[in-house]
Amino acid sequence: MNDRNYKGFLYLLPALLFLGIFMVYPLIDVVIYSLEEGYNFASGNFNGYGLYNFKYVLHDPFFIQALKNTSIIVIITVPLSTLIALLISLGLNSIKPFREFLQTLYFLPYVTNTLAVGLVFMILFKKTPYSDGLVNLLINSLGYSSVDFIEGPYAAKMFVMCFYTIWIVMPFKILILTSALSSVNKDYYNAARVDGTSRFRIFYKITLPMISPMIFYLIITGFIGAFKAYSDEVAIFGTNLNEAGMNTIVGYVYDMLYGDSGGYPSFAGAASIILFVIVFTITVINLLISKNKVNV
Amino acid sequence: MKVTLQNLTKVFPGRNKQVSEDVIAVNDFNFEIPDGKLIGLLGPSGCGKSTTLNMISGLEKPTSGKIFFGEEDVTDLSPELRGVGLVFQNYALYPHLTVKGNILFPLQNLKKDKKLTKEQMNEKVEYVSKLVQIDELLERKPSELSGGQQQRVAIARALVKMPKILLLDEPLSNLDARLRLQTREELRRIQKETGITTVFVTHDQEEAMSISDMIVVMNKGVMNQYGAPQEVYEDPKNLFVAKFLGTPPINIFYGSVRSGALYIGKTEVMKAPGLDDREVYVGVRPEGFIINENGPLSCDLERVEVMGRDTSIVARHNYFTGAFIRAIISSEDAPRSDLKTVSFSLKKNKTYIFDKITEERLYLEN
Amino acid sequence: MENLNQENKKRKIYNNIKTGLTYFFLAFWGIIVLFPFYWMLLTSVKSYGSYNSEYIPAFFTLHPTLQNYKEAFTAVPLFGYFINTLIFTLVTTGLMLIITLLSAFAFARLNFPGKNVIFLLFLSLMMIPNELVVITNYVTITNLNMRNSYPGLILPSVASVFFIYLLKENFEQVPEEIYKAAKVDGTSDLKYLFKVLVPISRPTVITIIILKVIECWNSYVWPRLVTDNPRYFLVSNGIQEIRENGFGRENVPAMMASVVAVSIPLIILFLIFHKRIMEGVSRGGTKG
């Protein structure tokens, strides 16, 4: 028996080792960092413990901007992408020919490199001396004048950002929703049809309650994912997000850690803990709502 | 409401390379379901009975042929306009609604001039829930009900809008044996009380025989026979129907007709006036055997099973198609179980002759 | 009856319109999904001169050229980025697989004190966002002098709680009797794991491998933190580098050629394994 006990840990050893070093220890350490005031990365000295780092971050205009950008992205993309994904999945669920083909096609963006495709999006939207870009051409053809989506007004940049974010998250949501929809027993629909239920009522009274757990799952993961937005922003606007005015909270964390403005792990730690608290709170609220609303 | 099926055919196109041939699920169906009767669609699985039901409900479109409700041609009508009630094999109760919510559901769909007030709806719900005896359970969720109770809710939901026709797909197959017996009586009572023309699908011949006014026996998409249960049992048109109906099943022997007499093996078992010489199957119902020391059919006795009033005799015969012959006789006539052989003569009206090739019934001249 | 027939006709027309609109809508989204891919491919075969002379970009080209691909692989060290990414992906996936297999086996089949508590702790780690731990990891790797090195790139991402969980669930579906039979026959645990469990759970193992490969091929944030020497850049960082500093003047066709080159391996992987990938992701993938 003893031999067995020892063996179990032996098998777990590599996982425990790596998770310990790269997950558990950092988790404790980041809290310590965030409380160490005036920490100097080079010398490793600090003045004492306190909440100064949090105060600093919360008053930093770059962080405020990042928080605002992130919030806008979250508020726009999470409901919108879930809604569009729901519409697409309902569409997919109602057709037979081409269904599997389209399902596969829609999933394609999931496997692509976000930096690579982001570059294409930038080209499509960007105004250059040579050309106003394809999207502007489209806008021109509708009778409006060109907009610089990449270096122009905030709203235009935010539009591109949200558009790209939705494009990126859509495959996952469509996949989850189509499989949720197809797992609803067809007999429910047949029963409702025989009873003369209108399409809207079928959707509202049968489909929606049946897939509501999955919708809530998507909303929760959507919130978490969108709050952690970063690479997609880099893909469109480049690494200097502060200059573009498009930084996100995660971007702020990395900037504090590394690069020209870097070398402040304490500020980075404080910012990442603030992010965690926000995400955690929203997740808990979501879960509470879903407990009341979701029918199983 | 009378239902007429006219040359009804359903072909499912071959879907992929493995099954490239079209599947004829229902082949040229013709029959009439009289108003107010309970009809059992009976057949082994895959015989097309559920497809037939789905075509009556409108969930599936026939490839060709027509369906009439009364005098109306409803072939092209979508299901919601047909006014049918449908009970699914797995009940398909909406899990997130209460029993009452489930029963109310079809009523809430009615629109315009058919729209009901709250009171009218409640009245109807009360009526059907009393009818199927679930009025105590209205506030429960389906998951809190037993299988039998769910079944009743499903029937109530189908009945609440007073459908012209009630359709049930294997309504009893998800229940355990005891409940099945009880529920089928219940079904019969509800149908009698409402007088709604009812069609139900089943693979259980006993179930169909016991409660139907009429049964339709189907095999491989073809309607084999249609009639009152007893009539079909006593006068099967072909070998399949004879084999499918009855427990214990009919006993089939290899036989032949030679110069006006029916032989099993080398023994003449009865006269066969009016039949040409040919190879045949001889079917004898278990109750068609008479113990007779001088009877023509001599079998090796395997064992004797006393079942109270009746006795079942298990025996062997070289020209029997299966393993054991099973004969049921009155216990008073039972032979001693230590005998090696037992001889029977056959009741004429319980013995059927089928052509060996076509498997169609051959009728004797009187 | 007349009324019913009319109503029926109306519904049929309505249904046809609805189906038509559905296909239109679905096709529209299909175009949105595909267009960026088409555009990158198209632009990558336009010559530098013709691309820049098009004020209105052409939707096709009659003179495709592979010049841009040559440029992409010569003017910037794209090939080096590929090799780095390949090494990174292979080693990370390999190590991850060994760690995951061993841990999943331990949780699924072995008995040891505190097993359930440890498993629960593992599960709770799934909720920890990467952003929270990346700071210390960055400091750790820097202090270990592993910046701009393969170990620095690879080590922090070799343990995946989610995959351990997925595989453990799968292992547990294999009847325990087989394990007991193997024990009675004197099969060692490791042999049982690799000769019995892994072959039986092959679909899940393959799914895990593919998902990890995708993750590795696309990883950007961590490599960016720990590498500033282009010799160690992965393709994502390479793309970013190309975008910001590459090809002198804005050579969009060459950029697109490198983007196509970077995207192709994964698209091929997707074309072969799309069923597996989609099934794996829908079984509890995380990204969104």
CATH class entry, domain A53-293? mainly alpha
Q: Which residues from chain B sit within 8 angstroms of residue C10, using beta carbons?
A: none
CA nearest A196: which of B81, B87, C5?
B81
Tell me which chain B residues have a C-beta less than 8 angstroms from the C-beta of C14: none
Using a CB-CB cut-off of 8 Å, the residues of chain C touching A39 are none
For A154-205, write each residue's pLDDT tens digit. Answer: 999 999 999 999 999 999 999 999 999 988 888 899 888 888 888 888 999 9
**Residue C111 and residue A5: Cβ atoms within 8 Å?**
yes
Rounded distance between C-alpha atoms, residue A126 and residue A106, angstroms: 25
Q: According to CATH, what is the number of the domain B3-237?
A: 3.40.50.300
Check CB contact under 8 Å for A113 and C236: yes
Chain B residues whose CB is inside 8 A of the C5 CB are 77
The confidence score (pLDDT) of residue C248 equals 59
Average pLDDT along chain B, 366 residues, taken 10 residues at a time: 90 70 86 91 88 90 92 88 88 90 89 82 91 90 90 90 90 83 88 92 89 92 91 93 90 91 88 88 93 88 87 91 90 81 90 92 84
CA B178 vs CA A165, B168, B184: distances in Å: 59, 20, 10
User: Which residues in chain A come in under a pLDDT of 50?
Assistant: 1-2, 296
From chain B, pick out residues whose CB is under 8 angstroms from the CB of A209: 94, 96
Are B299 and B343 within 8 A, CB to CB? Answer: yes
Give the pair of three-digit tokens for residue B93: 């109760």
Q: Token pair 């200097």 is at which residue?
A: A240
Residue among A266, A279, A35 nearest C136 (CA): A266
pTM listed for this prediction: 0.83
Asked if A206 lies within 8 A of B94 by C-beta distance, the reply is yes
- Helix ranges (DSSP H) in A36-113: 52-59, 61-94, 99-111
Mutation for B interface: A193, A195, A294, most B CBs within 10 A = A195
Domain boundaries in chain A? 53-293
For residue C3, the chain B residue with the least C-alpha distance is B81
Angstroms from A210 CA to nearest CA on chain B: 8
Q: What is the CATH number of the domain that holds C200?
A: 1.10.3720.10
Asked if residues B3 and B56 have their Cβ atoms less than 8 Å apart, the reply is: yes
Q: Give the number of C-alpha atoms closer than 13 A to the C-alpha of residue A23, restricted to the C-beta side.
A: 21
SS3 (DSSP) at A233 = helix
Residue of A115, A248, A277 to mutate, interface with C, max C Cβ within 10 Å? A115
The alpha carbon of residue A78 is apart from the nearest alpha carbon of chain C, in Å, by 9
Question: Distance, in angstroms, between C16 CA and closest chain B CA?
Answer: 14
Cβ pair C8:B81 closer than 8 A: yes
Q: In degrees rounded to 5, what are phi and psi of residue A228? A: -95, 15
Residue from the list A104, A120, A175 with its beta carbon closest to the beta carbon of C40: A120
The number of distinct structural domains making up chain C is 1
Q: What is the pLDDT of residue A1?
A: 42
Model ipTM? 0.87
- Compute the distance between CA of residue C129 and CA of residue C281 in angstroms, rounded to an integer: 19
- Tell whether C157 is covered by a domain: yes
Parent domain of C241: 78-246
Task: Judge: C256–A234 Cβ closer than 8 Å, yes or no.
Answer: no
Q: Are residues B45 and B30 in contact, defined by beta-carbon separation less than 8 angstroms?
A: no
Instruction: Please tell me if residue A194 touches chain B, with a CB cutoff of 8 Å.
Output: yes
Chain A closest-CA separation from residue B88 CA (Å): 7
Q: Which residues of C25-44 are buried (b: 16+ CB within 10 A; e: fewer)?
A: ebeebbeebeebbebbbbbb
Best probe of the A interface among B16, B50, B57, B80, by most A CBs < 10 A, is B80
Q: How far is A292 from chain C (nearest CA, A)?
A: 23
Q: Which residues in chain A (156-185) have CB-CB distances under 8 A to chain B?
A: 185
The crossing angle, in degrees rounded to 10, of helices A154-182 and A208-227 is: 140
| Consecutive 10-residue averages of pLDDT for chain C (288 residues) | 77 88 94 93 86 76 83 86 94 95 92 88 84 87 89 90 89 85 81 87 89 90 88 88 73 88 91 88 59
